[in-house]
Amino acid sequence: MKRKSWLITAAVAILAVAGIGYGVRSNHYQDRFLPKTEALGVDLSGKTVKQADAKMKAQLADVNYQLKDGGKTVATVSGQTLGLKRDYTTMLNKLLSKQNPWGFSAVVLAQSDKTALASSADSAEIKQYANAEAAKLNASRTAPVDAKVVLTNDSYNIEKEKPGNQIDAAKLAEALAGAIQANRHTVALKQTFAQPKAKASDQALKDAVSKLQAMGDIKAVVTVTNHQEQISSDRLKSWLSYSDGSVQVDRGGVAKFVSELADKYNTYNKSRQFHSTKQGTVTVPAGTYGWSIMQSKETDALIALIKAGKDFTQPVLHQGTGYHADGTDIGSTYLEVDRENQHEWLYQNGKVVLDSAVVTGKPATPTPSGVFAVWSKQRNATLVGEDYRTPVNYWMPIDNTGVGLHDASWQPTFGGTWYQQHGSHGCVNQPPAFMPKLFAAVAVGTPVIVI
């Protein structure tokens, strides 16, 4: 009994001592780091936050980190440059709050906690250095080349990507941060190399080849008056490419094609061959009459049709006057004014329905020759010039400078050579009795050819 009592007393005493020791230990580590605790490679065992902060500042600011390309060191940077000489108090308080002061096992916090790099100042300085160093090193390095779709011998193929050795600044910043966390003093640059964004194995490129080939084989036709202009497969394919995840159509190439159509077919601002009533075939200079292809809108329309990837036949988009699907331009209904013979003829569907002697502009202010059109019809208008203000009963302007057809009650005669001394300021004077007939027979838009 005595032996048993003694053993119990001894056990109680040991437990009491252990408890006291455990209590002292746990109380000691309430504000200190447990043994074997480290952060960023710095041993913080037994240190208070203040002591640990001072130790980390002293050690980390003087650490150098080497950037290695293969076995060659291409740059060295200090911890101070990377912002490691700073206040670690916030980080250390967080680490201390996570440890269990009642535990017996050591707590190693360096590898698992990322708060060491959580401050914006630290992150900004690492990124700033990475950006500057990458730019400097990349000056003599080769950029990676993306895989791409190319046109070769009338077919599309994928050209394989090519690696480079330029440094990705974001990857370099990440590698530096990782080295600091792991207490490594070297960074292998190979892990920071920029990689091609597109690779030959990408399904998107394979799909693009199929799509481009199909688009390049469509039948693309533009109709201009009574003509058809087919875009050749070779030319169409030369406009197609693949980039930024989608098929692209070269606007410059399409615009050049449209410009060629305009040069070939536009009638606006171009002289014409005209078969006159008395002078035979004559060349008539440009006037206000004519049409032209709306090149920008036509280019946009063709690009949209090509991207749709289906056969199409598109009537050309045009503006102006005189566009006829049969390609006749002036057509068979028009008014001819012959200055030499001082006479005019109204043709409708190829036949003369009205004609009359006229008075055109005198030699000093001649009626301009060209192909024009009646763009308005007015009753009881007043014609105003620098030295005249004349009321007329009928007025049909034909150009944009004030020239037109009107009755001229002040003219005693029409035709012959009267115009040489008594001609107009440029308008075509009509006999008062004839003008109402002409006014009624001529529609707005009717071509007026002055020769």
Catalytic machinery residues: 406, 427
Q: Are the beta carbons of 305 and 314 closer than 8 angstroms?
A: yes
Residues 6+ apart with CB under 8 A from 17: none
DSSP per residue over 326-394, as a string? TS-TT-S-EEEEETTTTEEEEEETTEEEEEEE-B-B-TTSPPPPEEEE----EEEEEEE-SS-EEEEEE
Residue whose tokens read 């998107």: 204
CB-based burial of residue 167 (10 Å sphere; 0-12 exposed, 13-18 middle, 19+ buried)? buried
Tokens matching residue 375: 């763009």
Pick from 312, 316, 323: which is nearest to 257 by CA?
A: 316
Long-range interactions of 391-398: CB distance < 8 A, separation 24+? 393/432, 393/435, 393/436, 394/430, 394/435, 394/436, 394/438, 394/439, 396/439, 396/442, 398/288, 398/372, 398/373, 398/374, 398/448
Beta strand 370-373 with 318-320 is unpaired
Q: Measure the CA–CA gap between 414 and 419, rounded to whole angstroms.
A: 8
Q: 210: buried, middle or exposed (CB in 10 Å: 19+, 13-18, 0-12)?
A: exposed
Question: 446, 442, 279, 444: which is closest to 355 by C-alpha?
Answer: 442
Residue type (1 letter), 432: P
Alpha-carbon dihedral sign for residues 234, 235, 239, 240: negative
Round to whole Å and give the CA distance between 148 and 206. 10
d(CA 69, CA 76): 12
> Which amino acid is present at 228?
Q
Separation CA 241–CA 212 (nearest Å)? 7
Residue 451 CA from chain centroid, whole number: 49
Angstrom distances, CA of residue 308 to CA of 123, 205, 382: 48, 19, 55
The DSSP output letter for 185 is: -
Distance (Å, rounded) from C-alpha 79 to C-alpha 111? 18
Contact 119, 48 (CB under 8 A): no
